[in-house]
């Protein structure tokens, strides 16, 4: 099984314009850059299911990925918004898919990557830029500490890859 972790794209700034942080949308530039990055991600992995945090900016990122992969149904996981890796793994297992994309937020998504690779949320320091992605592979069901990192790319590299 493969899990592709993706951090949401560039969103509007926090502040008085968005008093409810969960509703902050992507910027026009964030959408544009994510479409280009999604083309790069699609060259590396082809998930059959997209799991997303319920926050607006993550859902909008999942929609862009869905357009790229022609996947237009998403599964919402509160675990991606809360950094709850145990429940995230349970959500992923319940999907019974060979490849899953999971769209979330920092600081949780980098801790999730560490958790999947080592079983510890702090062992690996791999900060995700907005729109960055990493792919972890498991033999059989995904379990904490049993993943193998296939690739980890920041958004600028994904955009370059998408142009080829």
Half-sphere CA count of 143, side-chain side, radius 13 A:
4
Q: Flag whether 158 is in a domain.
A: yes
Q: Flag whether 16 is in a domain.
A: no
Q: CA–CA separation, 71 vs 65, rounded Å? A: 8
Q: Flag whether 32 is in a domain.
A: yes
CATH code of residue 34: 3.40.50.1240
Give, for all 164 residues of the chain, the pLDDT tens digit. Answer: 999 999 999 999 998 889 999 999 999 999 999 999 999 999 999 999 999 999 999 999 999 999 999 998 899 999 999 999 999 999 999 999 999 999 999 999 999 999 999 999 999 999 999 999 999 999 999 999 999 999 999 999 999 999 98
Q: Flag whether 80 is in a domain.
A: yes
Residues 58/80, Cβ–Cβ less than 8 Å: yes
Token digits for 124?
């690996």
- Show the DSSP H helices in 28-107 as ranges: 28-44, 56-69, 79-82, 85-95
Q: Flag whether 103 is in a domain.
A: yes
Q: How many domains does the chain fold into? A: 1
Q: Flag whether 17 is in a domain.
A: no
Q: Flag whether 35 is in a domain.
A: yes
* Domain range for 106: 2-11+23-163
* Global pTM value: 0.96
Q: Flag whether 18 is in a domain.
A: no
């Amino acid at each position: 099984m493969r899990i592709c972790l993706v951090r949401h794209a560039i969103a509007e700034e926090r502040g008085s314009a968005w008093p409810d942080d969960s509703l902050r949308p992507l910027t026009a530039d964030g959408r544009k850059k994510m479409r280009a990055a999604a083309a790069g991600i699609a060259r590396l992995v082809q998930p059959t299911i997209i799991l997303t945090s319920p926050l607006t900016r993550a859902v909008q990122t999942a929609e862009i990925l869905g357009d790229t992969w022609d996947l237009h149904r998403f599964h919402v996981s509160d675990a991606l918004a809360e950094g709850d890796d145990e429940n995230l793994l349970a959500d992923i297992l319940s999907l019974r898919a060979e490849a899953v994309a999971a769209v979330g937020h920092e600081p949780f998504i980098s801790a999730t990557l560490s958790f999947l690779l080592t079983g510890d949320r702090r062992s690996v320091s791999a900060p995700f830029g907005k729109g960055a992605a990493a792919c972890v592979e498991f033999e059989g069901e995904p379990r904490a500490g049993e993943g193998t990192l296939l690739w980890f790319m920041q958004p600028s590299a994904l955009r370059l890859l998408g142009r080829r």
